[in-house]
Amino acid sequence: MRKRKTKSEAIQTVEPEGEPADTSGIDALAAQLATYLPPEQIERVRGAYAVGARAHASQRRKSGEPYITHPVAVAMILAGLRLDAETIIAAILHDTLEDTGLTRAQLEASFGPIVTELVDGVTKLERVDFASRIEADAESFRKMLLAMARDLRVILIKLADRLHNMRTLSAMAPDARRRIARETLDIYAPIAARLGMNALKAELQDLGFRGLYPDRYKIIASRIKRTLGNRREAMVKIEQALAERLAMDGIPVRIISRVKAPYSIWSKMKNEHKTFDQVMDVYGFRLVTDTVAHCYQALGVAHSLFKPVEGRFKDFIAIPKANGYQSLHTVLFGPIGAPIEIQIRTEDMNTVAERGVAAHWSYKTEAGPGNSAQTRARAWVASLADNQATTPSSLEFIENVKVDLFPDEVYLFTPAGDIQALPKNATALDLAFAVHTDVGMHAVASRIDGKLASLRSQPASGQTVEVITAPSAVPNPSWLDFAVTGKARAAIRQYLKHLQHEDAIDFGHRMLESALDSKGSSLDAIPPEVLERFLAEHNLRRLEDLLSDIALGNRMPDKVATELTAMGGSVIGAALHRSEKIRISGAERGILSFGNCCHPVPGDEIVGYLSPGKGIVVHRVECPNVAELAKQPERRVEIGWDKQVQGDYRVELRVEVLNRPGVLATVSAAIAEANSNIDDVKYIERGIQAATLIFAIEVKHRKHLADVMRRVRNTKVVNGVYRYPI
């Protein structure tokens, strides 16, 4: 266990020298605020500065500057976004609760409950014990996101805080620099993107890239500078051609040439396996006009001037991105052989694209927010709050959040015409949960553009997806193999955990009864006071916890039975030592697993062995590993198949075939004719005349397996078929 470090690791404490305070920072901030805030609110900000300066008076940053320069710089970033006075005050005071003697009560008395909640939301957890730094960071991040769900301004302060820390990262030790830079690229830059704050996202990405890979950053930055110098004349010609044609059509426009940043270029080189020259061989321009109608007219002008590249047009005005971003995107064939990327948007759209949720800021709780980015951001953080309630692990929660911080989206239509924005590679099942959790929980199939499809199908943008439900349907553990969104995965996991707990109680009850029965007793014969004493001595709250522990292999049933009878449990007869087996139906998948060494199926003679935390691992009696497991008889559980078994069971077949064309298709067809699915197939031996393949298939029971093997054996290309590995 290790203690959670606070931001104090980046602070040095010094004795105040009695020098007059430098007010240049607050004066510059006040001048910036004067452009949009009334004088009385600016005075409140100055009051917050006085409190913060006193609280941080004995502290300096690693760079040697007075610590108060950091919160003022954070406030200046937020003032550039024209945020309200409460946000600016909270930014100035955001480290006081964590790193100074200022109390929550003092803060609330001076600045009110809203500022206090904002500061508390940004503040990390107090020093508590965690198993690792990763766990501590995950829990802190979870706390911040929940505060953000209550008030979006929490994350705006945190992003500005991170941006200023990244701007001054050089003062930190190399290990800390790399850790903070990685965290910025993995979490904070994607959050800024998810909130539509593209200008802030781009700076965080470039600063993170420079902190994590300084040499790569320098090389790419210098090559960008050289390349731009060589192509300036071509860019001017393209810009002039666009400006002249748009002016002829009476379309007011502001043209901005777009230059790729080092991080953007490095990402494309890495993800698309392109060279620097291939990435840079693109001319980018943004056309900013006054109305939506002029946006579409400008698109027509651009397409008449240069030929468009087929399939590269995207209309994010009609269908905005999940973060509220709106723009027209097109790619044109340039006059000098290089493609031209064009973005077309209104001034208002440009502001939202740059500032996202911070554009036209209007914090409202009851009424609608000021822009679509804020609407979508609030919907996203509300879904995060819902998901965390069903995700007990902070590490699991942060993984779900990472999934939702997607760089690309697909836009799907419901039959009612609603648009759902989902992560890239999302499935029909993800759409079901996006529509409503109840729809996802009872989903059985889908229709994509009217055609029947499975829940694991991945619809493309623009397709209409209808989810087919059934009242009796419930989540399947296999859903976790293809569910993408955090909302879907959290709901499925929660259901399976609940199911596992119920199955574990039932199975644990049967195991304990069997163990007590072998000693001539039963659970009903154990006096309540004896049971209560046993539970208290083992720190168990209730009997269900004991039964669940037994089923999950954390306690041996024989040992529990022995202890209960020794503590005074009634013996209702002589020890019977019955050999009656516990019957399994296969539905207890939460507490049962099937050995990969022997792949048991219904109809096989089986035995179970308790594995701590996993429950019962089922083996075939003839499995070679049973001999080794027999050395621990206390872990053995006598089990057998119930008359009614459920589900499909994986089994592997070793198939020896003639090595000729089409043999794989012939064997696969025989397996399919026997109504069995093939999970996997691989060659393990291959000679001139013969080959050996291993097929992983799904069967219902031993008789079904025999039918599959018979059909495979009857093909003219098979020399032998055997159960594998034994």
| 86, 95, 98, 503: the active-site residue | 98
Tokens for 232? 């300036």
CA quadruple 690, 692, 693, 698: dihedral sign: positive
Tokens 């296969």 belong to residue: 586
Determine the Cα–Cα distance for residues 18 and 12; give it in Å rounded to an integer: 17
| Nearest residue to 153 (alpha-carbon basis) of 325, 361, 418 | 361
Q: How many Å apart are CA 410 and CA 427, to the nearest integer?
A: 10
d(CA 508, CA 525): 17
- φ and ψ at residue 640, rounded to 5 degrees: -150, 165
Farthest-apart Cα atoms in the chain, separation: 105
Element at 446 (helix H, strand E):
strand 443-448
| 460 Cα distance to chain centroid | 21
Helix (H, G, I), strand (E, B) or coil at 20: coil
d(CA 611, CA 165) in angstroms, rounded, equals 48
Residue 545 burial class via C-beta count within 10 angstroms: exposed 0-12, middle 13-18, buried 19 and up: middle
- Distance (Å, rounded) from C-alpha 457 to C-alpha 571? 58
In angstroms, what is the C-alpha Rg of the chain?
Answer: 33
Alpha helices in 518-614 (DSSP H): 528-537, 543-551, 557-566
Distance CA 460, CA 237 (A): 38
Q: What is the dihedral of CA 143, 144, 145, 148, to 10 degrees?
A: 130
Q: CA 150 to CA 492: how far, in whole Å? A: 25
98 is a catalytic site residue: yes
* Catalytically annotated residue among 99, 120, 161, 206: 99
Helices 543-551 and 486-517 cross at an angle (nearest 10°) of 90
Question: Distance between CA 105 and CA 113 in Å, rounded?
Answer: 9
3-state class of 136 per DSSP? helix
Q: How far is CA 673 from CA 363, 667, 700, 706, 712, in A?
A: 63, 10, 14, 13, 10
Q: How many CB atoms lie within 10 A of CB 351?
A: 17
From the centroid of its chain, how far is CA 686?
Answer: 42
Q: DSSP strand E in 206-325: where?
A: 254-258, 283-289, 314-315
What is the number of helices (H) and of strands (E) in the chain? 27, 24
Phi and psi angles of residue 286, each rounded to the nearest 5 degrees, phi first: -120, 125
Any catalytic annotation for residue 99? Answer: yes
Are 399 and 390 in contact by the 8 Å Cβ rule? The answer is no
Catalytic residues: 98-99
